[in-house]
A and B are shown apart, each in its own frame.
Chain A
Amino acid sequence: MLKKSRLMAIAVLCLAALIVLAGCGGGKQAPDNKARQLSGNVTAVGSTAIQPLAEQAATQFMAKNPGVKVVVQGGGSGVGLTQVAQGAADIGNSDIFAEEKSGIDAAQLVDHQVAVVGMAAVINPAIKIDNLTRQQLVDIFTGKITNWSGVGGADQKIVLVNRPKASGTRATFKKYALGGAEEANGIEEDSSGTVRKIIKETPGAIGYLALSYLDNSVKAVSLDGVAPTKDNIVTGKYPVWAYMHCYTKEKPSGAVDAFLNYMMSDDVQKNIVPQLGYIPGTDMKIVRDASGNIKNK
Chain B
Amino acid sequence: MNLLYKALNLSGSEKLGRILTTGAAAIAIISTITIVFFISSKGLSTFLVNGVSVKDFLFSTHWLPDRLPEEGGPQVGVLVFIFGSLTVSLLAVLLSAPLSVACAVFIAEIAPNWGQRVLQPAIEILAGIPSVVYGYIGLSVLVPFIRNNIGGLGFSVLAGFLVLSVMILPTIVSISTDTLRALPGEWKEAAYALGATRWQAIRMVLLPAARSGIMTGIVLGLARAFGEALAVQMVIGNTRKIPGSILDPVITLTSAITMDMGNTPMGSLWNNSLWSMGLLLLIMSFFFIVMIRFIALKGGAAR
Contact = CB atoms under 8 A, between A and B. Distances in A.
A12 B20 contact: yes
Contacts of B269: 103
B234 A187 contact: no
Contacts, number: 112
B239 A188 contact: yes
Contacts of A6: 1-2, 5
Interface string B141-179: 000100100000111000000000000000000000000
B183 interface: no
A202 interface: yes
Interface residues of A, number: 42
B181 interface: no
B238 A5 contact: no
Contact of B65 (A8, A75, A165, A188): A165
Contacts of B10: 5, 8-9, 12
Interface stretch (B35-43, B187-195, B215-223, B257-265): B257-265
B251 A188 contact: yes
A186 B267 contact: no
A15 B5 contact: no
Given A12-B8, A159-B153, A164 B259 contact: yes
B253 to A, nearest CB: 14
Nearest to B154: A202
Contacts of A85: 265
B98 interface: no
A11 interface: yes
Interface in B1-34: 1-2, 4-5, 8, 10-11, 16-17, 20, 23-24
Contact of B17 (A8, A79, A165, A185): A8
Contact of B238 (A12, A74, A188): A188
Contact of B260 (A5, A15, A165, A168): A165
Interface in A1-38: 2, 5-6, 8-12, 15
A272 interface: no
Nearest to A198: B155
Contacts of B224: none
B238 A9 contact: no
A187 B263 CA distance: 18
A116 B66 CA distance: 24
A78 B262 contact: yes
Given A6-B2, A12-B16, A202-B154, A185 B239 contact: yes
A110 interface: no
B263 A194 contact: no
A77 B271 CA distance: 13
A167 interface: yes
B153 A189 contact: no
B153, B249, B267 — most chain A CB neighbours (10 Å): B153
A101, A166, A190 — most chain B CB neighbours (10 Å): A166
B270 A166 contact: yes
A117 to B, nearest CB: 16
A75 B265 contact: no
Interface string A60-96: 0000000000000011111101100110000000000
A187 to B, nearest CB: 4
Nearest to A159: B153
A201 interface: yes
A5 B5 contact: yes
B262 A168 contact: no
A187 B65 contact: no
A90 to B, nearest CB: 18
State the 8 A-B residue pairs at the shortest beta-carbon distance, nearest first.
Answer: A76-B262, A103-B268, A166-B263, A164-B259, A188-B238, A76-B263, A103-B265, A9-B5
Interface of B: 1-2, 4-5, 8, 10-11, 16-17, 20, 23-24, 65-67, 139, 144, 147, 153-155, 233-234, 237-241, 249, 251, 258-271
20 contacts: A5-B5, A75-B262, A76-B262, A76-B264, A77-B263, A78-B263, A78-B264, A81-B265, A82-B266, A101-B265, A103-B266, A103-B269, A159-B153, A165-B65, A166-B66, A166-B264, A166-B270, A168-B263, A185-B240, A202-B147
